[in-house]
Amino acid sequence: MKSMKTLALAGLMMAASLASAASTPSAPSMPDAQQVQAAHDLLAAMQAEKMLRATAGMSRYPTPQQRQAVFDKLDKVPAEQIYQRLSIPVARLVSTETAKEMTRYYQSSYGQRVLKQTYNSGPSLFDTAPVPTAKEKVELKRPAYVKADKAFKEAEPAIRHETFVLLTAISR
């Protein structure tokens, strides 16, 4: 009797997994050259090499020597290579319009201050974003930026994951 219940449960689990596999969309297709270039420009504007170093800094290593070895390897990788290696995964996550708008944002004076605060400040208990000027506030309220910012924030965890994947590949 117990084996019948186990077999029935296993059958139900298998049917559920097959149903969910059939309903999930297939892997995203290869992005076109324009998407990849927009993602590359975004990564350059947001200084992805610093994001990679921050990811390495937050990672746990068994020994300080292993941590230093990873940072030494990162120092040898040119920033352009990081942009190239991350551009295809990021292009799959972010639309061309979002990438272009966020590139524009990170190249603005306010975006530069945000990047400086993100990468060059010490640890803090709460977010201490710089205060935008009146002109910058108007720019931050543009519908195109608001839409792009929302889409980018949704994709940001996946982008950080891709950064970690690249860090793992470089450290090996």
- Chain segment 66-81, per-residue pLDDT in tens: 889 999 999 999 999 9
Residue 141 maps to a domain: yes
* Residue 55 is assigned to a structural domain of this protein: yes
Question: What gap in Å lies between CA 162 and CA 129, rounded to an integer?
Answer: 25
| pLDDT > 80? residue 160 | yes
Question: What pLDDT, on the 0 to 100 scale, is given for residue 156?
Answer: 92
Tokens of 56: 């390495």
**Residue 103 maps to a domain:** yes
Query: Left if phi > 0, otherwise alpha if psi is -120 to 50, otherwise beta: which for 60?
Result: beta
Does 53 map to a domain? yes
Judge whether 136 lies within some domain: yes
Q: Domain tally for the chain?
A: 1
Could you tell me which residue, 104 or 9, shows the higher pLDDT? 104
Do 61 and 55 meet the contact criterion of CB atoms below 8 Å apart?
no
Helix residue ranges per DSSP H, 46-142? 48-58, 64-76, 79-93, 96-107, 109-120, 134-140
* Residue 12 located in a structural domain: no
pTM: 0.75
- In this predicted structure, what is the pLDDT of residue 149? 93
Residue pointed to by tokens 């944002």:
105
Over 90: is that where the pLDDT of 103 sits?
Answer: yes
Residue 37 structural domain: 33-121+129-171
Residue 158 lies in a domain: yes
